[in-house]
Amino acid sequence: MPGWAKVLIIIAVLAVLLVVGMIVAGAFWWSRNKDSLIAQGKAVITEGQDAGRKTDNQGCVDESLTRY
């Protein structure tokens, strides 16, 4: 087998290992942080609904520009 083919196979195997490692790391991170992320999402939804009840369309636009 030529040397360039061995190098190509090694690079491909390393790329696959890198992708698998990133997937495993992402799954681990998600399992450790999902409860707080879901809680934060619910809090933001509640905050947005409360703000929406207290203002009109222009107030929503103003608030979004202020937060941006």
How many Å apart are CA 59 and CA 64, to the nearest integer? 9
State residue 58 phi and psi, 5-degree precision: -65, -35
What pLDDT sits at residue 51?
Answer: 87
Question: What are the domain boundaries of the chain?
Answer: 3-67
What pLDDT sits at residue 3?
Answer: 87
What pLDDT sits at residue 6?
Answer: 93
State residue 14 phi and psi, 5-degree precision: -65, -40
- 18-43 pLDDT, tens digit per residue, is 999 999 999 999 999 999 999 999 99
What pLDDT sits at residue 1?
Answer: 83
- 5-16 pLDDT, tens digit per residue, is 999 999 999 999
pTM exceeds 0.85 for this model? no
How many Å apart are CA 49 and CA 52, to the nearest integer? 5
